[in-house]
Amino acid sequence: MLEAVIFDMDGTLFQTNKILELSLEETFSILRSLNEWTSEAPTQKYREIMGVPLPVVWETLLPNHSNEIRRIVDEIFLEKLIANINYGNGALYPHVKEVFDFLKQEGCLIFIASNGLIEYLNAIVNCYKLNNWVTETFSIQQIETQNKDDLVGHILKKHHISNATVVGDRISDFNAAKNNGLKAIGCRFDFAQEGELAQADFIIDDLLELKSIFRHQGK
């Protein structure tokens, strides 16, 4: 019997694309004012690497900048993301709460495992009252290795779970499932890449499709 479903946050439950470009532009506008950036914000590059931990994001987007500048940018970006969440500029994907209702009725635990930071995840959870359904939300900050495989493993160990499914949109989610002996469901949403989705056991285009998959898995 399926005991739990572990969801990614960005690009799986939360439509990060709605606030990503705005928050990134606001952040790099400040960088320009500091004479640390001269061109457009690297939004497309960020979209390509979405799902990696933030330290890797800034190493990729700011390869020639100092660690101090990256730290400042990290703080500014987090502030802008949270502000835009609280302003109501983001949104959950359609049918998130319907699927959560279904899982709760089936007696299935719901977890969130994300490469996002704790403060950012809390802003989303609080804004959309996800704690009405979610047993616990986990951030990559809670794992020294900064590895999503270990984060999922930590969830399984802490809650004594042996049968779970991971739902996400990027390769880090699928690897975290496989390396913990779990099934992986790939969401063909905004940041998904076909080559990575091929590593999932199932691919969906709408979260509602999870209901039929989970009914089948529960048999």
DSSP letter (8 states) at residue 92: B
pLDDT digits (tens, 9 = 90+) for 77-122: 999 999 999 999 999 999 999 999 999 999 999 999 999 999 999 9
Per the structure, the complete domain to which residue 203 belongs is given by: 4-15+91-217
Looking at the fold, whether 57 and 118 belong to one and the same domain comes out as: no
pTM comes to: 0.93
Looking at the fold, whether 45 and 105 belong to one and the same domain comes out as: no
Last residue of a domain, one of 35, 69, 86: 86
pLDDT digits (tens, 9 = 90+) for 158-217: 999 999 999 999 999 999 999 999 999 999 999 999 999 999 999 999 999 999 999 876
Q: Which residues of 47-59 are buried (b: 16+ CB within 10 A; e: fewer)?
A: beebbbbbeebbe
Looking at the fold, whether 199 and 211 belong to one and the same domain comes out as: yes
CA angle (51, 194, 49) in 5-degree steps: 25
Looking at the fold, whether 75 and 153 belong to one and the same domain comes out as: no
Burial class (CB in 10 A: 0-12, 13-18, 19+), 172: buried
pLDDT digits (tens, 9 = 90+) for 8-67: 999 999 999 999 999 999 999 999 999 999 999 999 999 888 878 888 999 999 999 999
pLDDT value at residue 208:
97
pLDDT at 219 over 70: no
Burial class (CB in 10 A: 0-12, 13-18, 19+), 99: buried
Domain count of the fold of the chain:
2
pLDDT-based confidence at 2, cuts 50/70/90? Answer: confident
Looking at the fold, whether 98 and 196 belong to one and the same domain comes out as: yes
N-terminal to C-terminal alpha carbon distance within the chain: 7
What count of other Cβ atoms lies within 10 Å of the Cβ of residue 95? 16
pLDDT digits (tens, 9 = 90+) for 54-68: 889 999 999 999 999
Looking at the fold, whether 30 and 132 belong to one and the same domain comes out as: no
| Token code pair at residue 65 | 């900048």
Q: Which residues of 132-167 are buried (b: 16+ CB within 10 A; e: fewer)?
A: ebbeebbbbbebeeebbbbbbbbbbeeeebeebbbb
pLDDT value at residue 118:
95
pLDDT at 218 over 70: no
